[in-house]
Structure 1
Amino acid sequence: MIRTFFALFMLISTVIFAQNKLNLIPYPQKIEFSKGEFIIPGNFILDEKLSKKEREYFKKYFGKFFTLAYGKNEEIHLVNALFPPSAQPLSEEQKKEKYAIEISPKRIVIQSYTEQGRFLALQTLIQLFEEYKTVKKIPAMKIEDQPRFAWRGMHLDVCRHFFTVDEVKQYIDYLAMYKLNTFHWHLTDDQGWRIEIKKYPKLTQIGSKRKESMIGAYVDNTFDGKPYGPYFYTQEQIKDVVKYARDRHITVVPEIEMPGHALAALSAYPELACTSGPFEVATKWGVFDDVFCPKDETFTFLENVLDEVIQLFPSQYIHIGGDECPKTRWKECTHCQELIRKNNLKDEHGLQSYFIRRIEKYVNSKGRKIIGWDEILEGGLAPNAAVMSWTGVNGGIEAAKSKHVAVMTPGAYCYFDHYQGDPQSEPNAFGGFTPLEKVYSYNPVPAELNAEQAKYILGVQANLWTEYILDFSHVQYMIFPRLMALSEVGWGTSDPENYKEFEGRVINQFKILDQMKVNYARSIYNIVGKVVPADSGIAYELSTSQNSNGIRYTLDGTVPTINSAAYERPVSVPASLTIKSAYFEGGQLKSAVSSQQFTVSKTTGKKITLEQQPNENYSFGGAFTLVDGIIGNARQLGKTWLGFQGKDVAVTIDFGQKTAFTEVYFNTLENKGSWIHLAKSAKIFVSDDNRNFKLIKEIGTGEIQNAKGKIKVNVGTQNARYLKVNIENAGIIPAGNPGADSKAWLFVDEIGVN
């Protein structure tokens, strides 16, 4: 989107207001500067036509700047007005969030069509007053603004870990600050049922607590031994939160999971399952085979639950989950198999479609619509369903091409439970690597869609799953500052080419978060390391959001000081070593100390090609990740691993010349709860021409299992230019494992030779 800025350079006392950008997030669509400035008065007189709740909001956020009064004469400093009739007719949707602010030397005029538009204008004014409160002067300007996308959302999982009503309200305040308009409340899952349903009291009596919780990284497989809960929201508390959000023009979309992620419900009402149980609320994270059985009593139960949910939530959409539903129990269930035959369904995926369609018909009969994760596409999409595309962008593309609306929330860009900085210096996270810059780079409209199809992209959302987030302080850490990037992406004014300019505005916003005592991530200040190819193999490129002249580093593993080597250019890594780096300012340490260990082999930095690409959630660095000299940490599935779902790994490495070696090594992972399985087998080949390859080693399942995925094999004396390694994916996950019948994940890191 092209933005034109008219900047008039004005010298006012000692303050120069001329600037290319204001410190606003999300940045408005259009700003025009004009002559003069508005002097912030001691007594600020508001238009009396503002509603009572707008006055209360004004008092809460502006009362710290000046004394407020209300009036209707010429002395009014903030005037509330409607837009004049437009020559071009606008739809109600276009009018809803459109606003303008005109700041002149005498007053500030807000124009809008709706109360929601005025509210968004207030958020812009709050940021402007925060920026200019010290000098007490705001440059004269005209802002014309409205969002690109109708759905700008944030999700919060309260099932894995619970958050109080006050904390949920704080979360909603954060959304309002940055003009997000949808709060997706994930209320039911295997690990807890968090919403009171009066017709089924055992859902909260039994389903809202668990005997213990998994702690640490998933691979640790350890538990705290402490009962968790009962934790849930009463219906009165839900009404309170919904009203609180509505007052801030935020829609609350509830999620009631089905047909999978149902263990908490089945623990309370086991008769809704395909087997007799007994069941217990899950203590581990992951996916479980026991799901809702598609029988009449199950649908009666779910319809009754939805009746109460619909009474509590006025949202147009009800989220029904639909994701990660194993078909193991359905395959073994006589009733399910008879249902497939009776309804001429193709298979269990068809049965999932039958399930979702039946629920959709009921929800539609209540005047509402369903939205679900992109697995609801399995077996055919329900007629009026909306899709939330999380496994990538393909779900959204498929939905839009079939004229269904979609909300884009791909894990690679929009999962805020991923690491946002160096995993070695970050709190434990689910995995993946989604730094601020990557969130900011996202375009919610896939390039595969034409202009007509693109109209079905309703918007964008980020998700916060809380397996590893134990308290609200950690929630704050994971969403800030990434929520700011999401805000600007959803508003439609993000400009990835000028990310550094956005980064500067983010740092300026930290002053507001400091006042609010928000525990935001400071990863933006830390040293970012990137391995790059070099003549000698690899080099380590260091950068920071601050002046890179302040970076100091060491090569011997010691902690850097102000007297350590100053960073000037990428640091050569000729052999195995540890680089530690930090940022100093004014002689003082300002960042965390970053540490990176390198294990250099004969493949390090060499040209590498992959026949199949990794899943975009686990693709940071691409193929080069496998020859960057960094051995992946099995406890941190961050940026050092490549992940492939249902795909084999076929890698060819070009040494550049014939090279002698006797040993090949690589690592794969096992984490069955997350559907990650060790490789089934592997084959190693050599070639001198990249066409004719000779097999030199086969590695069977038993050898991989015995080595626990850490493969290091003797291949005899070899002398070749090309090395090819084929690593076979485990394939379809077998029955008895989480995610049975789904495609297994294969995680691979450094491929080296000695």
Structure 2
Amino acid sequence: MKPNLIPYPEKLTFEEGKFVIPETLILNDKLPKEETEYFKKRLGTQVKFQSSSSTEKVHVMYLQVSQPKMPIDPDGDKERYSIDISPKRISISSHTKQGYFLALQTLIQLFEEHKEDGQIPAMEIEDHPKFAWRGMHLDVCRHFFNVDEVKQYIDYLAMYKLNTFHWHLTDDQGWRIEIKKYPKLTEIGSKRKESMIGAYVDDTFDGKPYGPYFYTQEQIKDVVKYAQQRHITIVPEIEMPGHALAALSAYPELACTKGPFESATKWGVFDDVFCPKDETFTFLENVLDEVMKLFPSQYIHIGGDECPKTRWKECAHCQELIKKNNLKDEHGLQSYFIQRIEKYVNSKGRKIIGWDEILEGGLAPNAAVMSWTGVNGGIEAAKSGHFAVMTPGSYCYFDHYQGDPQSEPNAFGGFTPLDKVYSYNPIPAELNKEQSKYILGVQANLWTEYITDFKQVQYMIFPRLMALSEVGWGTADSKNYKEFEGRVINQFKVLDKMKINYAKSIYNISGKVISANKGIAYELSVSQDPKGIRYTTDGTEPSVNSKIYQGPIGIPQSSTVKSAYFEDGKLKSAVSTQEFTVSKATGKKITLEQQPNENYSFGGAFTLVDGIIGNVRKLGKTWLGFQGKDVIATIDLGEKTNFSEVYFNTLENKGSWIHLAKSAKIFVSDDGKNFKMIKEIGKDEIQNLKGKIKLNVGNQNSKYIKLAIENAGIIPAGNPGADSKAWLFVDEIGVN
């Protein structure tokens, strides 16, 4: 039986016999001190040190000075290790303290797993990671977390062999790092007058001043040292040229307009950004000087994402700069900005990394790309000989829902359950072997708009951090997901012991709508024995006496399915509720001419005819999101059908760049080729209906229906995200 190790080692072979765990573990006195002290503290067992000449005794842990048995790989050798567990002793082989530390994480998990039976099976482990960058990000700007909490976060990374902590220190909503040359950054920029609360569509505020919250330079040094002791590199992020409102509130002269400015109270993207003038570059260079003295990391993250060009278009200085440097447009100006910063950072012996928008207008010569909007940024970087870290939102954004949004705490949106994280392959299929070498690794991001305390941080990263860990190590195999899930559940005992507030979403019922008998059926699954599932279809609460789930539940008409998992007669999960609204289009064949963004594509086109009306407060798995694209959907009703009404839903939240459709047209056809328009509505009518579109189309009798829903296009000036592509969110298409 496989040991419950996460990440699972590259190679593990069982041997004869078992190592009996003694009350007092004898350790070689030549072991590296800091790492061994960490091991003692984590393990919580008694230890005694003995010289290497005495290591033939039983129950000894011994660090061999010889090289590991594995062949040497210069790129990954520092994290290689091997462990030999025999009935007499445990030996670790590694070239470095880092490899030794990783070996200790494996041993700690083995000791924890076998604490009750008191003996570890003899085995030999030969191990090293596939990817050099295995990272987790934490946003401390939207909501702040103190030094002790940040240290706990770093400990979680170390437990599962991640080696990079991306610390997001500046944004529109707060500046969180002390810069001695510019004290107003923390005096003014580290606070805001209130915070947005509730679902993102509510646009409501708590009325409570937030801050001042920031880290002193002494605190930063303390955290950096703490991470180094755990062989974790901290990569600091200083946002530029966008996401700069907190900085501009302190130093308004760095903007294109006079201000005044204040730290943002809403989430989203704002037009006021750093102006690319000499004063700005002097400011940023001075800031980076202090940052680089605090953080010894090779890479400095300079943001570069979501920078609206509205102010630059209106700024005489910016337009003159474009002409003077023969730049094509404002995107070229962004490239100019990034390249100028890169040149300075490179002059200090460091490198820059930025979000994939730094590709706009041409990539800086030595920059690395963090690919978040999808995988294309990483592909483009790798093909042009630049390093990339893969962190696509659809797999790696841990602020997304991880279970049924109806039963989860409010999140930003999206749907990224444990199995989806585990299925991710950081090497895009489009890259050849040589290009693949430029993929440094993988990272998950935790943005904290809706994460107000550290308990919620824990909830959002666990257990998904475990899946990320195995993906980054290179031993994840989605075909064996259920086996991995079993190891995760075993790890919950460790999290319980540490009093970590992890999500138990995998215990809850998971529902999936499938096509069945010219309609739909509701397929339920659970991590345990599915025979424990009980359900109702009349909206009543399920009990141990309710129907036993034996296969997909047919949904012939509008109804409410409630389900839960029971064990030994007791409720063991949350109750899952799903309402169905069945129309003549439900479950029918549907095709889309353009596909949704991968972050909001759950279920694909079928989501539009699955009988589920999307929750406007939870952009989880019931909406499809299209950025800059129209929705052109064709539904095959199977035969000529009488109908007189067509409906669909769309959303508006301009703060998140989501705009109502510009227009909608409905067409019918008998052959699927020749279509006739039967209805058209414009922006004003869509606005009046508040996105809930229900249209009388007269008496129709057709086999095919086509909807053409027009995206708002480029966001106009005066709106958040101006000059960027608008999002169009569409939900259930119904026909009656």
CA distance in 2, matches of 1:67, 1:60: 10
Structure 1 counterpart of 2:5, from 10, 15, 24 = 24
Instruction: Figure out how many residues of one structure are paired with residues of the other and give that number.
Output: 733
CA distance in 2, matches of 1:688, 1:654: 10
Q: Is the 8 A contact 2:4 2:491 kept in 1?
A: yes
Q: Determine the structure 2 residue equivalent to 1:509.
A: 491
2:18 aligned with 1:37: yes
CA distance in 1, matches of 2:728, 2:185: 37
Name the amino acid aligned to 2:60. Answer: H
Name the amino acid aligned to 1:651. Answer: A
Q: Deviation per CA, 1:660-700: give whole Å up to 9, x if none.
A: 00000000100111110000001000000001101000011
Taking every aligned residue pair, what percent have the same amino acid on both sides? 81
How far does residue 605 in structure 1 lie from its aligned partner after superposition? 0.4
Q: Is the 8 A contact 1:536 1:574 kept in 2?
A: no
- Determine helix, strand or coil for the equivalent of 1:352: helix
Name the amino acid aligned to 1:653. Answer: I
CA distance in 1, matches of 2:202, 2:37: 50
* TM-score scaled by length of structure 1: 0.96
* C-alpha RMSD of matched pairs (Å): 0.9
Q: Is the 8 A contact 1:682 1:700 kept in 2?
A: yes
Within a 5 Å distance, the mapping from 1:12-161 to structure 2 comes to: 19=1, 21-64=2-45, 66-72=46-52, 73=54, 74-75=56-57, 77-84=60-67, 90-91=73-74, 93-161=75-143
Name the amino acid aligned to 1:509. Answer: Q
Q: Is the 8 A contact 1:385 1:404 kept in 2?
A: yes
CA distance in 1, matches of 2:449, 2:132: 29
Q: Determine the structure 2 residue equivalent to 1:338.
A: 320
Q: Is the 8 A contact 1:59 1:68 kept in 2?
A: no
Structure 2 counterpart of 1:742, from 721, 724, 731 = 724
Q: Is the 8 A contact 1:527 1:591 kept in 2?
A: yes
Q: Determine the structure 2 residue equivalent to 1:409.
A: 391
Q: Is the 8 A contact 1:557 1:579 kept in 2?
A: yes
CA distance in 1, matches of 2:69, 2:277: 55
Q: Determine the structure 1 residue equivalent to 2:661.
A: 679
2:325 aligned with 1:325: no
CA distance in 1, matches of 2:49, 2:44: 10
CA distance in 2, matches of 1:154, 1:220: 30
How far does residue 56 in structure 1 lie from its aligned partner after superposition? 1.4
- Determine helix, strand or coil for the equivalent of 2:149: helix
Moved over 3 A (4+): 66-71, 83-90
Structure 2 counterpart of 1:594, from 564, 568, 576 = 576
- Determine helix, strand or coil for the equivalent of 1:153: strand
Q: Determine the structure 2 residue equivalent to 1:16.
A: none
- Determine helix, strand or coil for the equivalent of 2:41: helix
Q: Determine the structure 1 residue equivalent to 2:191.
A: 209
Q: Determine the structure 1 residue equivalent to 2:286.
A: 304
Name the amino acid aligned to 1:33. Answer: F
How far does residue 87 in structure 1 lie from its aligned partner after superposition? 9.3
How far does residue 61 in structure 1 lie from its aligned partner after superposition? 1.5
Name the amino acid aligned to 2:372. Answer: W
Measured at CA, do residues 89 and 143 of structure 1 come closer, stay the same or move farther in structure 2, by a change above 3 Å? Answer: closer
Name the amino acid aligned to 2:65. Answer: L
CA distance in 2, matches of 1:577, 1:266: 53
Within a 5 Å distance, the mapping from 1:209-248 to structure 2 comes to: 209-248=191-230
Q: Deviation per CA, 1:195-240: give whole Å up to 9, x if none.
A: 0000000000000000000000111000000000000000000000
CA distance in 1, matches of 2:115, 2:402: 32
CA distance in 2, matches of 1:291, 1:703: 35
CA distance in 2, matches of 1:730, 1:25: 46
2:710 aligned with 1:728: yes
Structure 1 counterpart of 2:504, from 496, 500, 522 = 522
How far does residue 85 in structure 1 lie from its aligned partner after superposition? 8.0
How far does residue 62 in structure 1 lie from its aligned partner after superposition? 2.1
How far does residue 67 in structure 1 lie from its aligned partner after superposition? 4.1
How far does residue 36 in structure 1 lie from its aligned partner after superposition? 0.6
2:553 aligned with 1:574: no
Structure 2 counterpart of 1:649, from 603, 620, 631 = 631
CA distance in 1, matches of 2:327, 2:518: 60
CA distance in 1, matches of 2:580, 2:73: 59
CA distance in 1, matches of 2:289, 2:430: 39
Q: Deviation per CA, 1:556-592: give whole Å up to 9, x if none.
A: 1111000000000100101001000000000000000
Q: Is the 8 A contact 2:76 2:132 kept in 1?
A: no
CA distance in 2, matches of 1:611, 1:557: 37
Within a 5 Å distance, the mapping from 1:554-573 to structure 2 comes to: 554-573=536-555
Stretches of structure 1 lacking an aligned partner (at least 5 in a row): 1-18
Q: Is the 8 A contact 2:14 2:124 kept in 1?
A: yes
Structure 1 counterpart of 2:462, from 466, 472, 480 = 480
- Determine helix, strand or coil for the equivalent of 2:414: strand
How far does residue 58 in structure 1 lie from its aligned partner after superposition? 2.0
How far does residue 95 in structure 1 lie from its aligned partner after superposition? 1.4
CA distance in 2, matches of 1:707, 1:745: 19
* TM-score scaled by length of structure 2: 0.99
How far does residue 654 in structure 1 lie from its aligned partner after superposition? 0.4
Measured at CA, do residues 87 and 735 of structure 1 come closer, stay the same or move farther in structure 2, by a change above 3 Å? Answer: closer
CA distance in 1, matches of 2:70, 2:365: 37
CA distance in 1, matches of 2:561, 2:39: 51
How far does residue 88 in structure 1 lie from its aligned partner after superposition? 5.3
Q: Deviation per CA, 1:708-739: give whole Å up to 9, x if none.
A: 11100100000000000000000000000011
Structure 1, 535-544 or 385-394: larger mean CA deviation: 535-544
- Determine helix, strand or coil for the equivalent of 1:420: coil
Q: Deviation per CA, 1:404-426: give whole Å up to 9, x if none.
A: 00000000000000000000100
How far does residue 70 in structure 1 lie from its aligned partner after superposition? 3.6
Stretches of structure 2 lacking an aligned partner (at least 5 in a row): none
2:527 aligned with 1:545: yes
Q: Determine the structure 2 residue equivalent to 1:433.
A: 415
- Determine helix, strand or coil for the equivalent of 1:418: coil
Q: Is the 8 A contact 2:67 2:94 kept in 1?
A: no
Q: Is the 8 A contact 2:254 2:280 kept in 1?
A: yes
Q: Is the 8 A contact 2:359 2:377 kept in 1?
A: yes
Name the amino acid aligned to 2:289. Answer: D
Q: Determine the structure 1 residue equivalent to 2:146.
A: 164
Q: Deviation per CA, 1:492-549: give whole Å up to 9, x if none.
A: 0000011111001000000000000000000000000000001051000011001000
Q: Determine the structure 2 residue equivalent to 1:4.
A: none
2:710 aligned with 1:690: no
Q: Is the 8 A contact 1:473 1:518 kept in 2?
A: yes
- Determine helix, strand or coil for the equivalent of 1:431: coil
How far does residue 59 in structure 1 lie from its aligned partner after superposition? 1.6
How far does residue 22 in structure 1 lie from its aligned partner after superposition? 1.1
2:232 aligned with 1:256: no
CA distance in 1, matches of 2:260, 2:73: 57
CA distance in 1, matches of 2:72, 2:602: 46
- Determine helix, strand or coil for the equivalent of 2:223: helix
How far does residue 81 in structure 1 lie from its aligned partner after superposition? 1.1
Q: Is the 8 A contact 1:43 1:69 kept in 2?
A: no
Measured at CA, do residues 407 and 87 of structure 1 come closer, stay the same or move farther in structure 2, by a change above 3 Å? Answer: closer
How far does residue 476 in structure 1 lie from its aligned partner after superposition? 0.2
